[in-house]
Structure formats: C-alpha cells, structure tokens
C-alpha cells in the first residue's frame, strides 16, 4: 500500500484557485474511484470532485472555507494502485418544461422560471467522469373550477361560496400561498380579469421584492464583513475590466410589444410547443440572433490587434442565482429552432440555479441579454460581458397608453436598452441593430421570413 495525494485540479478554463466548500469524506473512510470527495467553489461555479483512487483516506489536508491554488495537495489516500483515468465530462440533454402566460411580465413569465426542479442531478465528475442531467418538472396544478379566457387559456375560479370572485391559474394560487398574499385583495390586470404573477408579486412586494416579506431587524453587529471571493470576486473583476477598458455607448428605444404577447400566447396553446417554456424572453433571444445576422459587427471580440467577427452566436443571458449573477451562454444558438432555443434556455437556467454551471458554460459568449424586466425595471445601462461588444437589456412589459393610427390606445410596451463597445460598434450600427431587434418585438411574424 502507498499513500497518494490528490492535488486540486484545474477544472477548466485556466482557473487558478478554488475554495473548499465541504468535504464528503473524512480520515479513515474507504473511497472508490469516482466517489465524490469534496465540493469546491471556483470563480464561476460549484464543482464536485470525484476520487481518482480506490483506498482509505489517511488525511484531509485543507480545511473547509480555505482558498487554495490549483496543484495544492488537498487529501491523502492510502492506495495500492495509480490514479485511474476516466472519460471527459459530457453534458446531459435538456428537459422539457412548462410556463404560464401573463400580460404584465413577472420573474416567472418574462424570463426563466425561478422554481427549481425537485429531482437533483448526480455527482458532477468534472474532468473525471460524466455529468448528470438536470431534471425539471411540471408544477402541480390544483383542482379548481375551470374556465377559459378569450385567448383559450385555462383559468381557475374560486368556489362560488367564496366572498369574492377571483380568477387565477393554479400556479398563481400556489405563488400567492407561498408569499402569503390574499388573492381577494389583489387587483387583477389580465385581459380576462385574471390575476397574474405580476399582480401577486406586486402585492407581496409592499415589504420586499423577494420572498422574505417581513422586513428583518438590524443586525446585532454594527458592520458585516463579507469576503470577496468566488462568484462575487469574478463579477467584480470582470465588471471593472469591462467598464474601464471598453468605451461604452448606450442606445434606447420604446417598443410596442403587444404582438409579441399575442405570439407568446399562441405558442403556449400550440401542440408543437406542448411542455415547452415560452416567454417574451424567448422572442427576444430569437430577435437578437436574427439582428446579429444583419449587423454582424455587434457579435465580435476586440483583441487590440484585430476585431474578430463571429459568424455564429453563443447567446448569453444574465441569470440571478443564490450565488450571484452568472452569464451562461448557449453555444451555436443560431442553429436552434424556436422550440430548441426555449429548451436550451430553460435547461441552462436550471443548471445555473442549481450551482452546477461549468466554466465552459460561461466562456466564449458572443452577445448577451439581461432581463431586468423580471425585477420590474423599465430599462437600464448594462455593462458589457467581458470579451463581448454588445449587450441588450429587456425591460418590463406592461400596459401603457400608445398612439396607434392617431388614437391613444392601451398597448403592451417595453423599453430596450443596449450598450456597445464603441471601439468596434459605431453609432449607426448600434442603432440599426437595436431597431432590428425592436422590429421583431413589434412584429414577431418577421421571424418566419
């Protein structure tokens, strides 16, 4: 028998250090090849490291919470054999998901669903074995009195004996219950008088935008010290580099998104999209990919020596997770159908929120969207994702007065804001690109051309 030390590996993309989050074994434990030894946090993701040895743990060499460099010995295993090589990791296939329609867009309807799946993936054997699939499921629907709105959507009414008539779909009722919102006190904004997620969230957000409805008390200590590491350190480094190396220029446009909302409803009712999450974010993604083809320089990288124009789209989207903001991207998104793109966005979102994104999932992006509308924001000036020269912010979609054929009518309106690297993208190109995106939001049927 001989003692073998397991060195902290480079889990991908040239990362130089990682934090030891939690040990899954201790001294004296018997371990086998591909058994999870430890969970680490890199600058971009949580990773489970499998054992390349079979043997007995003789010592854990690094404490939980410590940050160590790649190549540092972290555990010693008494073995009778050399480390076992295993195949490179492979990504599991996407799972189908469902979503519900809203006219004023909420976190669940304008962008990726915030609800995590119940099924958890297996060990992620980064650099040593296969990566498990991330499962998602259809939310349970309560049995209530069904009705149909003018768009053909199934709604539920409360029993006739209740104090007031409330129209809401089962997922909306569940959300209201989780947030402690009395639906009878909520003002509906749906086309058929139904309560939407936005209405529930607005009711709950009187105290907080998020789920902690009660305002917490002040902390006992006068100050709190949060170590700058992991995702937060990566965000800070990337944003400072982007803000102070790329000269940002911003453009904005208000858009009538009424036909996008109608298009989304039709897709939701289509058998071709059964079991697939559909939202205005999907139309936005497809619009940007289409506009890139017409304005290719917005899909470039600046290298000081040259401008690299990408004739493919690795479509990135900012995702808020419990660990901070991450920007995964969908490789070769231009090759995907609308249905495939919807599935890819949902799959990547689930992986991000489960903390299982790998460095490759967040590298080599070419253009990004940030969906600030899920937080009720109208618009903003986003900072470029490092290495990219274009990013678009999708604002909230809500009813506003809008002039149509000389008459003021209620329409669903959003604001698109975009930032570009002025070293690469001139003002005319930036304006044409955003105008092209806006044209699709105004008339999604152009996607069929």
The answer to whether residues 196 and 249 belong to one domain is no
- Report the alpha-carbon distance of residue 220 to residue 69 in Å, rounded: 35
pLDDT of residue 132: 37
Tokens of 217: 């008390």
- The proportion of the chain whose per-residue pLDDT surpasses 90, expressed as a percent, equals 41
pLDDT of residue 164: 56
- Report the alpha-carbon distance of residue 189 to residue 399 in Å, rounded: 9
Q: Which residues pair with 31 in a beta bridge?
A: 55
Position 93 confidence tier, pLDDT thresholds 50, 70, 90: very low
- 216 compared with 235, residue with greater pLDDT: 235
Q: How many folded domains does the chain comprise? A: 3
CATH number for the domain including 149?
A: 4.10.320.10
- Report the alpha-carbon distance of residue 57 to residue 35 in Å, rounded: 12
- Asked if 7 and 74 count as a contact pair (C-beta separation under 8 A), the reply is yes
Q: Which of 44, 50, 57, 51 is nearest to 14 (CA)?
A: 44
Render 294-309 in DSSP notation, one character per residue: HSGGGSEEE-SS-EEE
- The proportion of the chain whose per-residue pLDDT surpasses 70, expressed as a percent, equals 76
The answer to whether residues 195 and 241 belong to one domain is no
Q: Does residue 34 register a pLDDT over 90?
A: no
pLDDT of residue 248: 94
- Asked if 438 and 254 count as a contact pair (C-beta separation under 8 A), the reply is no
The answer to whether residues 421 and 370 belong to one domain is yes
Average pLDDT over residues 363-390: 93
Does some domain include residue 133? no
Q: Does residue 114 register a pLDDT over 70?
A: no
pLDDT of residue 233: 84
- Could you say which of 32, 55, 79 is where a domain stops? 79
Domain limits at 29?
2-79
CATH number for the domain including 11?
A: 2.40.50.100
The answer to whether residues 331 and 421 belong to one domain is yes
Phi, psi of 426 (to 5 degrees): -80, 165
The answer to whether residues 328 and 193 belong to one domain is no
Does some domain include residue 105? no
The answer to whether residues 323 and 245 belong to one domain is yes
- Report the alpha-carbon distance of residue 235 to residue 320 in Å, rounded: 12
pLDDT tens digits for 42-88? 766 778 888 888 899 999 999 988 888 888 999 999 986 544 444 34
In Å, how far are 254, 269, 438 from 358, measured between CA atoms? 36, 34, 33
Does some domain include residue 336? yes
Strands 407-421, 390-394: pairing is antiparallel
- Report the alpha-carbon distance of residue 57 to residue 26 in Å, rounded: 7
CATH number for the domain including 310?
A: 3.30.559.10
Tokens of 88: 């490179």
* Other beta carbons less than 10 A from residue 208's beta carbon: 13
Tokens of 283: 């139309």
pLDDT tens digits for 416-437? 999 999 999 999 999 999 999 9
Does some domain include residue 399? yes
The answer to whether residues 418 and 350 belong to one domain is yes
Does some domain include residue 114? no
The answer to whether residues 336 and 376 belong to one domain is yes
pLDDT of residue 43: 66
List residues with catalytic annotation.
Answer: 422
Q: Which of 403, 349, 375, 385 is nearest to 105 (CA)?
A: 375
Position 316 confidence tier, pLDDT thresholds 50, 70, 90: very high
* Other beta carbons less than 10 A from residue 29's beta carbon: 15
The answer to whether residues 200 and 242 belong to one domain is no
The answer to whether residues 182 and 67 belong to one domain is no
- Could you say which of 55, 79, 103 is where a domain stops? 79
pLDDT of residue 201: 77
Phi, psi of 66 (to 5 degrees): -80, 145
* Other beta carbons less than 10 A from residue 3's beta carbon: 12
Does some domain include residue 150? yes
pLDDT of residue 103: 37
Phi, psi of 311 (to 5 degrees): -95, 40
pTM score of the predicted model: 0.59
Does some domain include residue 265? yes
- Report the alpha-carbon distance of residue 101 to residue 115 in Å, rounded: 16
The answer to whether residues 432 and 306 belong to one domain is yes
Q: Which of 432, 390, 393 is nearest to 249 (CA)?
A: 390
The answer to whether residues 374 and 439 belong to one domain is yes
Does some domain include residue 362? yes
pLDDT of residue 392: 97
Tokens of 344: 């890819």
Q: Does residue 98 register a pLDDT over 80?
A: no
- Report the alpha-carbon distance of residue 77 to residue 90 in Å, rounded: 27
Strands 248-256, 36-41: pairing is unpaired
When the pLDDT of each residue in the chain is averaged and rounded to a whole number, the result is 79
Average pLDDT over residues 231-241: 84
- 150 compared with 35, residue with greater pLDDT: 35
- Could you say which of 135, 169, 204 is where a domain stops? 204
């Amino acid at each position: 028998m001989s003692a073998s030390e397991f060195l902290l590996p480079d889990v991908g993309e040239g990362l130089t250090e990682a934090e030891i989050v939690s040990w899954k074994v201790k001294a004296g434990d018997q371990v086998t090849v591909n058994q999870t030894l430890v969970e680490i946090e890199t600058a971009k993701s949580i990773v489970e490291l499998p054992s390349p040895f079979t043997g007995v743990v003789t010592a854990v060499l690094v404490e939980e919470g410590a940050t160590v460099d790649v190549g540092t010995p972290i555990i010693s295993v008494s073995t009778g054999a050399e480390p076992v090589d295993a195949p490179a990791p492979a990504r599991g296939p996407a799972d189908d998901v469902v979503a519900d329609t809203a006219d004023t867009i909420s976190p669940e309807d304008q962008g990726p669903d915030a609800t995590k799946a119940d099924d958890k993936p297996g060990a992620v054997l980064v650099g040593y074995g296969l990566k498990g699939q991330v499962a998602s499921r259809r939310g349970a629907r309560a049995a209530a009195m069904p009705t149909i709105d003018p768009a053909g959507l199934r709604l539920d009414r409360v029993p006739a004996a209740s104090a007031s008539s409330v129209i809401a779909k089962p997922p909306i009722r569940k959300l209201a219950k989780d947030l402690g919102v009395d639906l009878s006190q909520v003002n509906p904004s749906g086309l058929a008088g139904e309560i939407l997620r936005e209405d529930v969230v607005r009711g709950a957000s009187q105290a907080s935008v998020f789920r902690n409805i009660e305002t917490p008390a002040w902390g006992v200590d006068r100050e709190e010290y949060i170590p700058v590491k992991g995702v937060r350190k990566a965000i800070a480094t990337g944003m400072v580099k982007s803000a102070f190396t790329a000269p940002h220029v911003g453009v904005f446009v208000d858009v009538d998104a009424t036909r996008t909302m109608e298009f989304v409803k039709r897709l939701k009712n289509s058998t071709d999209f059964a079991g697939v999450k559909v939202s205005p974010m999907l139309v936005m993604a497809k619009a940007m990919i289409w506009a890139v083809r017409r304005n290719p320089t917005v899909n470039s990288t600046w290298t000081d020596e040259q401008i690299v124009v990408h004739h493919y789209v690795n479509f990135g989207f900012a995702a808020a997770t419990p660990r901070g903001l991450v920007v995964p991207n969908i490789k070769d998104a231009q090759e995907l159908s609308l249905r495939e793109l919807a599935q890819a966005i949902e799959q990547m979102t689930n992986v991000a929120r489960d903390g299982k994104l790998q460095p490759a999932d967040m590298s080599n992006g070419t253009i990004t969207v940030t969906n600030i509308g899920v937080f009720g924001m109208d618009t903003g000036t986003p900072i470029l994702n490092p290495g990219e020269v274009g990013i678009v912010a999708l604002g909230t979609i809500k009813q506003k007065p809008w002039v149509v054929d000389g008459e003021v009518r209620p329409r669903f309106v959003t604001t698109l804001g975009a930032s570009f690297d002025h070293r690469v993208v001139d003002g005319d190109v930036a304006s044409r690109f955003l105008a092209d995106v806006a044209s699709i939001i105004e008339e999604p049927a152009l996607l069929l051309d």
